[in-house]
Structure 1
């Protein structure tokens, strides 16, 4: 497979890991189909699309959280909507800090679920709703469409500590990111392509403030991340003071509500907001992709790659067949 031709050390361990990737991808495809609800709920896609369209027309800032939610769900226990479950003791995935920014996004998923329950009760899983919503967000913000595989079922377990351990942090380096994606059955190309989702949305100062103040850990507030453009550092420091964690900035300044390839231009100029964005320049393959797609004329290629990587993401550890359940309400098990 061409997409597996990466520059890695020729070790038996890594070759075994690649073998596991292939097994994972093959296994996860079973039970997923385009048009899974064609007979049981034929209007599922149009109903979902209409809710997303209405939502973004009045709250365009929700595009980032709704797209990011799919990634956060699939990376913890697979794409099983475990991110939506409530916990009476605040110990579910949604209670972990990385997921607290999705509050309004959860309400939109509930809105879609309610509409679908009226049309075809007990048929469409919350996991599939998240997948469909992520596609519709991209389309509504200017990106290209793709056929979403459906047939996932919902999980019954959601643990706060797993969100901390399974999700990459804003400070993740390229070595950790590559290994984490590999563990999920995703390639290095999937990593750099899915990072392009950062073209939408915002980030709070707390996520990247270390890059602006005391980066070397010595207590020197003037110590900044040398991997970040100094002019960008200066601009960010005007918005994010040393004592400010709650202010937010656009992930893709000037284009944060439009799905496009501008993110790669920013990263190439050392203006990726998070350390995990900057890390894409620390690997030969990811850096090559960034440099190739920073050119506006290559945006169509990025759109095509993004569709493929989103399908790959949607196959991670899915529940199908008789596994799991179809929740009646997305925030609780039946």
Structure 2
């Protein structure tokens, strides 16, 4: 009972702070669809929950897709657009080829077009789906303002701005600061890696003898065993790949970070204290993560002057 009360209190604080920050900005609001499409929230939640009941690994996929969307041209659903003969879209970038879960967004969009055609943007659907996926996996409750419009640009060359798995802490801090995030917010968002896996191709460079002094010797054996099955073999980021918790940070403390960009957060003096704090205090991680996620969901939001509501999330109107 006490835990429930704490979660509700934290959620109210986050929502109140968010409203204070974004009230009147971008034309977004918590109740944006209250009159125009009142069933949007249960449709998104029920569809996400149904998909994750069948395949819990899709929680990580939806969260990652939302991140990859927001870091390129803002949270505008551009990662959902298919390539055409005249344009190679973001989703066909090497950094995005492993993204999954598009069919969930398509399913939600189809249902909403039947209920309230031309009202709910694909960008909002993706942001809500990622939020609900985090909660399904045991993560914090949080809400986001709605009213984003869908972007009209999706180009493979833009994905060069996605953080690479080989970046060190200084490079990550610089990249995230360009989007307005502090070093602590970057570490909190990195905690999204508590869900999902990395493929061997993203970390095998660490396994060459002496290549990565940050890598623990025993964990190096684990990663080598994973890679023995091929470049597409998968290594969970922590011991509970489908549960949203703080074990990711505990893994970093033990030198068991899968990617260079993971382990560097503990090895760098500029971010180590944040990792230690989240490893010791899951509630603090949850609070900082939900606040950072709300902030991320507002990156370069499009309005009616430079966006649209797509009829089909895979193509521009």
Task: Report the TM-score when normalising by structure 2.
Answer: 0.90
Of the three residues 57, 61, 64, the one matched with 1:61 is: 57
Of the three residues 151, 162, 169, the one matched with 1:167 is: 162
In the other structure, the counterpart of 1:268 is 253
Residue pair 1:85, 1:92 contacting (<8 A) in 2 also? yes
In the other structure, the counterpart of 1:91 is 88
- Asked if 1:325 is matched to 2:308, the reply is yes
Of the three residues 280, 286, 289, the one matched with 2:271 is: 286
1:202-213 matches, cutoff 5 A: 202-213=197-208
Residue pair 1:28, 1:316 contacting (<8 A) in 2 also? no
Q: Is the partner of 1:101 in helix, strand or coil?
A: coil
In the other structure, the counterpart of 1:141 is 137
Residue 27 to residue 321, structure 1, CA distance change in 2 (3 Å):
farther
For residues 228 and 100 of structure 1, the distance between their equivalents in structure 2, rounded to whole angstroms, comes to: 27
- Cα drift, residue 185 of structure 1: 1.6
- Asked if 1:223 is matched to 2:210, the reply is yes
- Asked if 1:250 is matched to 2:236, the reply is yes
Q: Is the partner of 2:97 in helix, strand or coil?
A: helix
Q: How many residues align structurally?
A: 296
In the other structure, the counterpart of 2:3 is none
In the other structure, the counterpart of 1:153 is 149
Q: Is the partner of 2:117 in helix, strand or coil?
A: coil
- Cα drift, residue 49 of structure 1: 0.3
- Cα drift, residue 32 of structure 1: 1.8
Residue pair 1:81, 1:155 contacting (<8 A) in 2 also? yes
For residues 271 and 41 of structure 2, the distance between their equivalents in structure 1, rounded to whole angstroms, comes to: 33
Residue 171 to residue 28, structure 1, CA distance change in 2 (3 Å):
farther
Residues 190-227 of structure 1, C-alpha deviation per residue, up to 9 Å, x if partnerless? 100000000001111000000112xxxxxxxx334110
For residues 79 and 232 of structure 1, the distance between their equivalents in structure 2, rounded to whole angstroms, comes to: 36
For residues 26 and 206 of structure 2, the distance between their equivalents in structure 1, rounded to whole angstroms, comes to: 43
User: Unaligned stretches of 5+ in structure 1?
Assistant: 1-24, 214-221
Residue pair 2:22, 2:28 contacting (<8 A) in 1 also? no
In the other structure, the counterpart of 2:126 is 130
For residues 28 and 258 of structure 1, the distance between their equivalents in structure 2, rounded to whole angstroms, comes to: 36
In the other structure, the counterpart of 1:307 is 290
Residue pair 2:249, 2:278 contacting (<8 A) in 1 also? yes
Q: Is the partner of 1:155 in helix, strand or coil?
A: coil
Residue pair 2:26, 2:301 contacting (<8 A) in 1 also? no
Residue pair 1:28, 1:315 contacting (<8 A) in 2 also? no
For residues 206 and 313 of structure 1, the distance between their equivalents in structure 2, rounded to whole angstroms, comes to: 27
For residues 238 and 322 of structure 1, the distance between their equivalents in structure 2, rounded to whole angstroms, comes to: 52
For residues 23 and 72 of structure 2, the distance between their equivalents in structure 1, rounded to whole angstroms, comes to: 18
Residue 28 to residue 54, structure 1, CA distance change in 2 (3 Å):
same
Of the three residues 239, 260, 273, the one matched with 2:226 is: 239
For residues 184 and 23 of structure 2, the distance between their equivalents in structure 1, rounded to whole angstroms, comes to: 20
Residues 68-118 of structure 1, C-alpha deviation per residue, up to 9 Å, x if partnerless? 11110000000111101111246100000111112x411111111111111
